[in-house]
Structure 1
Amino acid sequence: MKRIQSLLITGAVPENRNLIRLFSDASPLAELFSWAVSLEEGMHMLKRQSFDLLFLDISSKGGLPENAFYLIHRQFPKMPVIVITDKEDEATILPLLRSDAQDYLIRGRITPELIGHTAAFAIERYRMRISLKQKTEQIQFLKESLEAIIRQSADAILMIDESGHICFANPAAAEIFGRSQCDLIGQEFGFPVSANQTMELNLVCPEGKKRVIELKTVWIDWKNSHAYLASVRDITAQKEKQRHMQMLSFHDQLTGLYNRAYFDENSKNWNTEDSLPLGLIVGDVDNLKLSNDTLGHQYGDRMLVSIVSVMQKVCRPQDIMIRYGGDEFIILVPRCTELQIRQMIRDIQSACANLMTENVPSSISMGYAVKYHINQPLLHLLHQADRNMYGNKLACGRGRPNFYLLSLEDSLQKKDTVTSEHAVRVRETCFRFSVFLGLDMRTAKRCALVAALHDIGKIAIPSSILNKEGPLDDEEWEIMKHHPAIGCRMIKDLPGMNDVAEAILSHHERWDGKGYPRGIADSQIPLTARILSLVDAFDAMTHDRPYRKAMKNEKALNEILRCRGTQFDPRLSDEFIRFIKKKHH
């Protein structure tokens, strides 16, 4: 048996020596037994030392007052106490036991053996009471925690009896089902339930609001009966997010059309008798890469959106439009004839021909194939339409750089008649002046090409600036000065056009290095750009502009002479003056 460290508190009378001796002889108390002969001494020892058990003598023969028990218990509530009394009546004993006294001993009947058994029993009982109290507190804590979890849960928690009626509902159930907890109790659940199942259901609340719910049920014992514990989660937002994610995965973000993933996923769904004859049109936007590289991807995006808008106006509601790649589109045309498809293609291409994006015309090459039998694979149909489209593109020359250049020139002419007429005159003069200088024919033709395209960057300049009547302000002039760089960017990626792009970039540079955009000087400026600079300036001075009238040739030549060696190449300036005088004599 474990040794017990105990304390006896009694009164200071001679008769208590025998009592102390009895406790000193009691096993298992003997070795660790202490005593005090006054309440004050005992309280002091309890504060200084740790004891397993306290014996408190409140007998009328030499003991302490009865209220000593309550004083000690108030200050040391966790100390197990055995009281010693000489009264065996219930009026004395029961109040003490009800106030947490562990046991009692009757003075005059105490033996060492009785002390040992009573002490061991009292300590064990105290430990059991403490353990029971802790378990009770834990159970109460768990109960309160569970109630809080059920009360605060975002999921509806319901108890449904065997007849399908609701017998418990938490606040979330009231929120999800749109009815109060009281209204839910006793009502039919309204959905089929079975043990250990999970299902998605559509719920319509009393006010008409629709929700998607996930229902999980298990079979449990409930108040001496069987019932279903149901967990209901509102997954409306989750399903909406899934639907949105699926839409994003199957739709092109720029145009809003279906994408290639949608085509690949649903290709089998179109292999039905109801779809026949099934037409498949393939469209390829002409020169989109060149447009992106030269005018920027924002321009290319706007062009695509504009072309899609045209296709949507031409197509029927049952037709399916798909952005298959960067510049490729597929249109599935169910229950159609070849005549209808050809007319659709004509309508789309005709509308695109009149479509201007940033003053640049758009065009799309198209081809088609028709499926008449259920056993024709859709991919074969796609390949056939694709081959037809590329054949049409090559036949019309739409995929070639010269088609792109002609489109740019045509766009500039439509946007700014003055600039386009100026370009025609400058091209002719540059060619003739190059021949006059004795340059070889290839260089003369390259110079004419530079002259034809030198203002192509003005496509990106607002018309309000190009056609302004009067001088440009500082901000407008800064915008206008971007056109050489824009023109260079539009041309440089075309095959064999690097030198032309470099000359376009340099045609506003000056011999003294004070030009733009790079500030290069003398021989750093390409020869064709130096020639163009002279011709361009002379033509501009001798023709009307929105902000001034034309000057006479003689005055313009004097201006070139004045700027010889600063703005213009001095040698070329002298030759150009000779060229103009010879031309007009």
Structure 2
Amino acid sequence: KQAAPDPFNVRIFKQLLRLYMEGKAWTNVPALAALAAKEEDIHARALALAGALAQSLGDSFTFTVHTAKTRLADGDGAHFPTYHLSIKPLRQTAGAVREKLLQSRPAIIPGSTGEEALFIDLRTLPAQRDEALLESLHKALREPARPAVMQYMDFMPQLVWITDRRDNLVYLNKPCASFFGLQNSAGQSGQTIQDLLPAELAAVMPELKETALALGEKAQKEICINTPVADPFWLDLCASPVLDDTGEITQIMYVAGDITRQKKTEEELKQLSLHDSLTGLYNRNYFEEEMKRLNSERHFPISIVIADIDALKFVNDTLGHQCGDRLLKSTASILKGTFRTSDVVARIGGDEFAVILPLTDAKTAQNVLERAEPAVSAFNQAHNGLPLILSFGVATGNDAAANITEIFKKADDAMYKHKIAKRPLKIQQIADVLLQLMSEKSFITENELSRLQQITGLLGRYVGLSEGEISRILLLCKVYNIGRITLEDSTLLKPGELSPGEWEAVRRSPEAGYRIASSLPGFDIIANCILQHRERWDGSGYPQGLKGEEIHLYSRILAVADAYQAMRSPRPYREALRREEALRELQRNKGTQFDPSITDIFLSLMEQQFLKILN
């Protein structure tokens, strides 16, 4: 920024001397010795000072020599050239540097021109003071070497930053710079915390600083930081005073640890402690605490509703807990949609739910409860499989004299009365649904079932069964495959070889059928036959590996009749076999898969045309 200086001539100097002697000179006119200095000498001094400072402090400051013309006196048109040295910080604010200059010994009075921290007119400074000025500037502006402890802080996982008492940033470690997306730890020094850190963090720091300054010890607080593009995160912020050699607090060191994972874990544990993990409803512990809290006059009248899923144990035992879990989740969804947000809806047992309705009389509670029945019906219409059947009980207390525990007991008793009254209808409803599901998965038509019953009935009579036993074996023909409802359609329809997992599910299906039949009135008498209908005469069948006459007679008769019926009927994965092919298969597996005597009876009947209708 140098310009060609005007020549300093004798005329100007004489005029300056006259004005100076008469006391009319501008108040900032320097000593005559400085004014009398040659222009090239001052210019050389300016360049020398700028060069020396740039060599030692050029990484942190820029040093510029300016050329200007200064008016000598008011109303006087004469000017003379001057040289100024300006200092501008690169990594600190000009205000922070000016404060350092004022605190230096001896103090350097800075000139302020905005971004510049120092502006020196060299004509006001005798040449013999250049060396002292240079030393003072070095001492005031040189950045101290980073202590070893600060170097160690760069390898700490915590975020660390240090400020002076005016909140100017003195230091931050590399993890802190990286975490907040700052350029580097050195480049931000001198700026205030408000310039760099998130608003939530900057807002709480004054409180922590004042506590640390007042008590002379650390202050701590957990802070949630919101971000526009990601989930909020949590910091555990600690502010500690930093003392100088005299014991005076000169700085505050802040250490922040990321505790987001810890807070999430705490929230999850809190959620688990108050909520049922399967349905997301409140759990029994929370429900009982709410009963205590709401057992006061200002919450009355109060009503309690108890709901129970009918036949959940049967579903779990027969179709598996996965199916039972679906019913539990569906019930929770229906109850949450039925009751109000002010009501406390909880799962208090395996198949039992409860709802507290504060400030709700008996009529209002009944009106709210009536919304549940249409919701259950809509669910059952929208979902295939076992129906969701709920039993409800409700009780109300009009004032605090009616203890809330007694209200709960009355609602529970009312629910059980409702459950028992509907039990026969519910069992029949479940049985009908199971039989419908079985027929959809058994691949057997009404005509095929009729022919199967004819074969088993005729074989039963030839081996000496009574009419009562014939009735039972005909029922067995209808339900022996009921365990198939537990199998996936992809397994039943698979044309190729089953995977080990699929085959294992098939082997377990007779056991599922046994559990289902054992739980349904009228089917329990044939439950063992259902369990054994996949056993083989030679003991290589499943699920128990029974052999010979260890297998129930009904199951041995059914095995022959069912095999012939299946071979003569088309399946999704194969064509039907011809009569002669089916009979040869029975003959070939006599004594291994099938009871030989029953097989011989069947083959004889076929030869004698007793079963002509089956041809």
- For Structure 1 versus Structure 2, the TM-score category normalised by the shorter chain is 0.5 to 0.7
**Match in the other structure for 1:346:** 373
What is the SS of the residue equivalent to 2:308?
Answer: strand
Worse overlay, 406-415 or 220-229: 220-229
How far apart are 1:543 and its partner, in Å? 6.3
256, 263, 281: which is aligned to 1:239? Answer: 263
What is the SS of the residue equivalent to 2:366?
Answer: helix
480, 492, 508: which is aligned to 1:485? Answer: 508
Q: 1:2-46: CA deviations, max 9, x gaps?
A: xxxxxxxxxxxxxxxxxxxxxxxxxxxxxxxxxxxxxxxxxxxxx
Measure, in 1, the Cα distance between the counterparts of 2:237 and 2:502: 64
Letter in 2 for 1:182: G
**Match in the other structure for 2:79:** none
Letter in 1 for 2:367: Q
Query: TM-score scaled by structure 2?
Result: 0.56
Contact kept, 8 Å, 2:483 with 2:514, in 1: the verdict is no
Q: Aligned runs of 1:290-309 on 2, under 5 Å?
A: 290-309=314-333
Letter in 1 for 2:483: G
**Match in the other structure for 1:190:** 206
Aligned pair 1:251/2:275, yes or no?
Answer: yes
Measure, in 1, the Cα distance between the counterparts of 2:496 and 2:227: 67
Q: Aligned runs of 1:55-454 on 2, under 5 Å?
A: 144=147, 146-148=149-151, 154=158, 156=160, 158=162, 161=165, 170-171=172-173, 180-184=188-192, 189-191=205-207, 193-194=210-211, 195=215, 198=219, 200=221, 202=223, 212-214=234-236, 222=244, 224=246, 225=248, 231-234=254-257, 236-237=259-260, 238-271=262-295, 278-334=302-358, 337-354=364-381, 356=383, 359-374=385-400, 376-397=402-423, 404-414=430-440, 418=444, 426=452, 430=456, 434=460, 437-440=463-466, 443-454=469-480
Measure, in 2, the Cα distance between the counterparts of 1:320 and 1:190: 42
Indicate how the Cα distance of structure 1 residues 459 and 165 shifts in structure 2: closer, same or farther if over 3 A, else same.
Answer: same
**Match in the other structure for 1:529:** 555
Contact kept, 8 Å, 2:394 with 2:410, in 1: the verdict is yes
Paired positions, count: 436
How far apart are 1:456 and its partner, in Å? 0.8
Measure, in 2, the Cα distance between the counterparts of 1:541 and 1:208: 64
Measure, in 2, the Cα distance between the counterparts of 1:228 and 1:332: 56
Measure, in 2, the Cα distance between the counterparts of 1:206 and 1:463: 48
What is the SS of the residue equivalent to 1:369?
Answer: strand
Contact kept, 8 Å, 1:322 with 1:331, in 2: the verdict is yes
Letter in 2 for 1:287: A
Measure, in 1, the Cα distance between the counterparts of 2:451 and 2:172: 87
How far apart are 1:242 and its partner, in Å? 1.3
How far apart are 1:266 and its partner, in Å? 3.9
How far apart are 1:529 and its partner, in Å? 0.1
Measure, in 2, the Cα distance between the counterparts of 1:257 and 1:382: 18
**Match in the other structure for 2:484:** 458
Indicate how the Cα distance of structure 1 residues 229 and 457 shifts in structure 2: closer, same or farther if over 3 A, else same.
Answer: same
Q: 1:116-151: CA deviations, max 9, x gaps?
A: xxxxxxxxxxxxxxxxxxxxxxxxxxx955445566
Measure, in 2, the Cα distance between the counterparts of 1:215 and 1:557: 85
Measure, in 2, the Cα distance between the counterparts of 1:531 and 1:206: 73
Indicate how the Cα distance of structure 1 residues 556 and 277 shifts in structure 2: closer, same or farther if over 3 A, else same.
Answer: farther
Contact kept, 8 Å, 1:355 with 1:361, in 2: the verdict is no
Contact kept, 8 Å, 1:487 with 1:501, in 2: the verdict is no
Worse overlay, 184-193 or 326-335: 184-193
How far apart are 1:457 and its partner, in Å? 2.0
Contact kept, 8 Å, 1:488 with 1:502, in 2: the verdict is no
Worse overlay, 561-570 or 383-392: 561-570
What is the SS of the residue equivalent to 1:418?
Answer: coil
Indicate how the Cα distance of structure 1 residues 363 and 282 shifts in structure 2: closer, same or farther if over 3 A, else same.
Answer: same
Structure possessing the higher radius of gyration over alpha carbons = 1
What is the SS of the residue equivalent to 1:280?
Answer: strand
Q: 1:293-343: CA deviations, max 9, x gaps?
A: 333333333343344344444444444432323322234445651333332
Measure, in 2, the Cα distance between the counterparts of 1:315 and 1:183: 56
Worse overlay, 318-327 or 516-525: 516-525
Measure, in 1, the Cα distance between the counterparts of 2:229 and 2:581: 85
How far apart are 1:459 and its partner, in Å? 1.3
What is the SS of the residue equivalent to 2:498?
Answer: helix
Contact kept, 8 Å, 1:271 with 1:374, in 2: the verdict is yes
Contact kept, 8 Å, 1:156 with 1:176, in 2: the verdict is no
Measure, in 2, the Cα distance between the counterparts of 1:174 and 1:558: 84
Q: 1:61-107: CA deviations, max 9, x gaps?
A: xxxxxxxxxxxxxxxxxxxxxxxxxxxxxxxxxxxxxxxxxxxxxxx
Sequence identity percentage: 27
Measure, in 1, the Cα distance between the counterparts of 2:560 and 2:273: 57
Measure, in 2, the Cα distance between the counterparts of 1:311 and 1:206: 36
Contact kept, 8 Å, 2:169 with 2:189, in 1: the verdict is no
Measure, in 2, the Cα distance between the counterparts of 1:327 and 1:425: 42
Measure, in 1, the Cα distance between the counterparts of 2:309 and 2:206: 56
Letter in 1 for 2:381: N
How far apart are 1:344 and its partner, in Å? 2.6
How far apart are 1:256 and its partner, in Å? 2.8
What is the SS of the residue equivalent to 1:283?
Answer: strand
Letter in 2 for 1:391: K
Q: Aligned runs of 1:13-52 on 2, under 5 Å?
A: none
Contact kept, 8 Å, 1:295 with 1:486, in 2: the verdict is no
How far apart are 1:246 and its partner, in Å? 1.2
Measure, in 2, the Cα distance between the counterparts of 1:212 and 1:559: 73
Indicate how the Cα distance of structure 1 residues 384 and 199 shifts in structure 2: closer, same or farther if over 3 A, else same.
Answer: farther
Q: Aligned runs of 1:498-577 on 2, under 5 Å?
A: 500-511=526-537, 520-537=546-563, 539-540=565-566, 548=575, 568-573=594-599
Letter in 2 for 1:243: E
Measure, in 2, the Cα distance between the counterparts of 1:542 and 1:276: 71
Contact kept, 8 Å, 1:278 with 1:332, in 2: the verdict is yes
Runs of at least 5 residues in structure 2 that lack an aligned partner in the other structure: 1-145, 183-187, 196-201
Measure, in 1, the Cα distance between the counterparts of 2:147 and 2:164: 22
Contact kept, 8 Å, 2:344 with 2:356, in 1: the verdict is yes
471, 475, 478: which is aligned to 2:498? Answer: 475
Indicate how the Cα distance of structure 1 residues 515 and 242 shifts in structure 2: closer, same or farther if over 3 A, else same.
Answer: closer
Measure, in 2, the Cα distance between the counterparts of 1:428 and 1:517: 27
**Match in the other structure for 1:41:** none
